Amino acid sequence: MDISNLIMENIANPHELEKIFRKDPEAFKKAFSYAWAQNPDSKVLAVWDERLHFKETVNTEKASLLQRDFLSMGFLAVLSGVVTRIILHFVEQQVIAPVNLIFGIVSFIAIFFGYNNPPRKKILYTLVSLFLISGFYLNMLPLEFTDSIILAYLHLPVFFWVLLGLAFTGNNYSLSSTRIEYLKFNGEFFILYTIMAISGMLLTALTMQLFGFIGMNIEEFYFKNVVLFGATALAIVATYLVLRNLKLAKNIAPYIAKIFSPLVLVTLLAYLITVIWVGKNPFLDRNFLIAFNGILFTVLALTIFSITESGTDEQKNISDYINFALIVLALLIDSVALSAIAFRLSSYGITPNRLAALGVNILIWVHLIWIMLSYVRFLQNKTGPSIIQDAVTKYLPIYGLWAAFVIFTFPLIF
């Protein structure tokens, strides 16, 4: 019997229609058109028509948006690389300070943030003004590497990091949840950028080796025009990929936090015990005090990273206790550092470096106290984990204010 007739005879028998289809799908498709034309009111055949001729509709608006985002990312990445290379030229001519290279990266990331999450005019004008004012001010400073000017240069990345946070959060800058997202972005950005940078370094090593085989030394040209351009543009690419919810970084970040937190805790405990054993004294050894502060910043950054990646799970786990131990350890390190800095100030007098170190250590000490007290309440089941995240995020603008204070006043005072 003709298949089209079989289809019409079994319109009310879905099981039989399925058997006919599976026996010879191609013949069924050809015969179906005739059966469908003869029975246009059949709901069963309407379902089969949809099944046989289904085409997934594409969200053209979303596809267009992604394409525009990709093109804007590519444009900003290229522009960032070109601008940074131009800045390097003027740095080499000793017209401007090397710190200006950061403008070629940070300003374009801020632009991409603004494009991705358009802020109100008030926020936009604030961001543009602060970038322009800081750039103008820093280039008005003498091209001298005095302590106060070096401190201004060192605090500039912190100030810009807070400005990028404002650009990232946009109109929701006051919400703790958006600030947490910014901190997560930083962790995922760092992971992704590092992975891509390692690939770039391998390519660079291969390129140097290949040209070395034919007796050509392209190292200087390659680093100035390819490596610099690539490293700068890569920051914009990594920003785009993280904002587009690249699963690689998002899946790796929590595991890195869980693995490295206990390792760092054990390592630092062993290190501090060794320091006490061998009698190292941060009160008298300036270089050791600097290293001590470096340890403090590392522990603080890792702790904040672990807290942001732990989410809002009400159920306490081993990671919470490790984070709490890291906070207590960081507080202990900071207390020793503060005592050593106060001792050096009273013994040797005020200098820009000592005053800046005192200020940042006081800020960190207060922040750690706040986080620790929030963690105590959480571990005692008095509050949820959100109070810890609030303690982390609400304090962040203070670091930006301190950085701005050092940048804009220390070169004038000292």
Asked if residue 53 has pLDDT above 80, the reply is no
Number of CB atoms found within 10 A of residue 48's CB? 22
Residue 299 lies in a domain: yes
d(CA 306, CA 259): 10
Mean pLDDT along residues 22-46: 79
Distance of CA 202 to the CA centre of its chain: 23
For 13, other C-beta atoms within 10 Å of its C-beta total 12
Residue 315 within a domain: yes
pLDDT at 24 > cutoff 90:
no
pLDDT band at 248 (very low <50, low <70, confident <90, very high): low
Residue 37 has pLDDT above 90, yes or no: no
Q: State residue 65's pLDDT score.
A: 56
Overall average pLDDT of the 72-85 stretch:
93
What's the pTM value of the predicted model, to 2 decimals?
A: 0.80
Q: Give 75's Cβ-side CA count (13 Å radius).
A: 9
Over range 262-277, report the average pLDDT: 80
Backbone phi and psi for residue 336, each to the nearest 5 degrees, phi listed first: -65, -45
- For residues 189 and 253, what is the distance between their CA atoms, to the nearest angstrom? 10
pLDDT number for residue 236: 94
Query: How much is the pLDDT for 153?
Result: 95
Flag whether pLDDT at 368 surpasses 80: yes
Residue 43 has pLDDT above 70, yes or no: yes
Residue 182 lies in a domain: no
d(CA 40, CA 29): 16
Calculate the average pLDDT of the chain. 86
Reduced to 3 states (helix: H, G, I; strand: E, B; else coil), residue 55 is: coil
Q: Is pLDDT at 255 greater than 80 in this prediction?
A: no
Distance from C-alpha of 309 to C-alpha of 20, rounded to nearest angstrom: 54
Is there a domain that residue 274 lies in?
yes
Distance CA(233)–CA(193), nearest Å, equals 11
The first and second tokens of residue 378, run together, are 């959480």
Structural domain boundaries enclosing 7: 3-52
pLDDT of residue 57: 47
Mean pLDDT of 21-39: 79
Instruction: State pLDDT tens for residues 64-76.
Output: 556 777 888 999 9
The burial class, CB within 10 Å (0-12 / 13-18 / 19+), for 377 is middle
Task: Please give the single-letter amino acid code of residue 216.
Answer: M
What pLDDT does 4 receive? 75
Is position 405 within any domain? Answer: yes
Residue 360 has pLDDT above 90, yes or no: yes
Q: Which residue has the tokens 């962790």?
A: 187
What integer pLDDT is reported at residue 46 of this predicted model?
82
State the angle between helix axes of 103-116 and 121-140 in degrees (0 to 180), rounded to the nearest 10: 180
Please tell me whether residue 246 adopts helix, strand or coil conformation: coil
Q: Is the pLDDT of residue 267 over 70?
A: yes
pLDDT band at 169 (very low <50, low <70, confident <90, very high): very high
For residues 240 and 277, the model is more confident at: 240
Domain assignment of residue 329, yes or no? yes
**pLDDT at residue 61 above 80?**
no
Rounded to whole angstroms, how far apart are CA atoms 394 and 374? Answer: 13
The Cα 17–Cα 109 span in angstroms is 58
Q: What is the mean pLDDT of residues 357-372?
A: 93
Give the least confident one: 72-81, 306-315, 329-338. Answer: 306-315
Is the pLDDT confidence value at 63 over 70? no
pLDDT reading at 62 higher than 60: no
Residue 330 has pLDDT above 80, yes or no: yes
Assigned domain for 331 exists: yes
pLDDT at residue number 311: 59
User: 125 versus 307: which is more confidently predicted?
Assistant: 125
Asked if residue 158 has pLDDT above 90, the reply is yes
